[in-house]
Amino acid sequence: MGAEIHHLASNQRNPGMVFHPEWVEGIRVNRSAVERRIATLNARRTVKKQWQAAWLLKAITLIDLTTLSGDDTPGRVQRLCAKARQPVRSDLLAALSMENASLTTGAVCVYHEMVPVAVKALIGSGIPVAAVSTGFPAGLSPLETRLAEIRASVTAGATEIDIVISRRYVLTANWKALYDEVALYREACGEAHLKTILATGQLGSMTKVAKASMICMMAGADFIKTSTGMETVNATQPVSLIMLRMIRQYFDKTGYKIGFKPAGGISVSRTALQYLVLVKEELGNEWLQPELLRFGASSLLGDIERQLEHFITGRYSAANRHPMG
């Protein structure tokens, strides 16, 4: 009966749990063991030829195509949405016998101000709009302002909200405060899915990354995300391994599957393939789908398209042949 309940939970949205401080008290990370695991994985696992093309097409479906610039305009967001709808040139798709695959990116991610523009541009596509929120990227605006920002983006049509946690709670090990904050964010999201950005490069240690991951999931996060993309250090494979292990531990405890989103610095196909292999080995094929895995990226798609053209023609094309819109 217990296994049956566990299976049923795995197909449902994470509701969050009551605060369990004991879930984080015993967490310890052996940094050298983590680094050895990543080194041996990258040495053992490579993807070649037609299998690489197939994996890169899979990676496209997992991209949160992102623009988070101070000079964003409606026109830029509309072009990005057009690219999300048709991420690969039609001639390349035809050469790969994928012209009828209805290939799209996983989502489009923008600031709140651009949510209505993206929602309108993506009508009928099924592509979700994600909004960064809660005073992104620092997360230091007043709490009520952060909560109001979430609600406003949901009202405007965003179905995914990428929030930033208060790093000070992690650095001071105030786990109850972090739990309470994320639980409020989850409540403000309503039906929209909550992606919690840990800003791992600012958390001080791998053990703190692991504990923050567990707290965010306990508080109701649907995804845990490495970075804003604007820290000095963003997504790394060792940190990602730790977060994936925490996702597995949370699943073992509760039966709920939590998504993972590495972001920042994932700009070339080779790196994306390494992350796909890492997720496959740590969590299994079930996690290789947009509901449970996303890449936060802006330039990755262009490089994937170049690699696909190289697979077809044997030649690398100029980057300007694969514009974002």
User: Which residues are known catalytic residues?
Assistant: 162, 225, 261
300 near 83, Cβ under 8 Å? no
Between CA 174 and CA 135 the distance in angstroms is 20
Cα within 13 Å of Cα(160), Cβ side: 26
What sign for the dihedral angle of Cα 231, 235, 237, 238?
positive
Between CA 114 and CA 67 the distance in angstroms is 10
**Quick one: DSSP state of residue 288?**
S
**C-alpha distance from residue 316 to each of 87, 92, 305, 307, 320 (Å):** 18, 13, 10, 7, 12
Question: Helices (H) and strands (E) in the chain — how many of each?
Answer: 14, 8
Looking at the DSSP bridge assignments, the partners of residue 161 are 131, 194
By C-alpha distance, which of 134, 227, 138 is closest to 182? 134
279 near 244, Cβ under 8 Å? yes
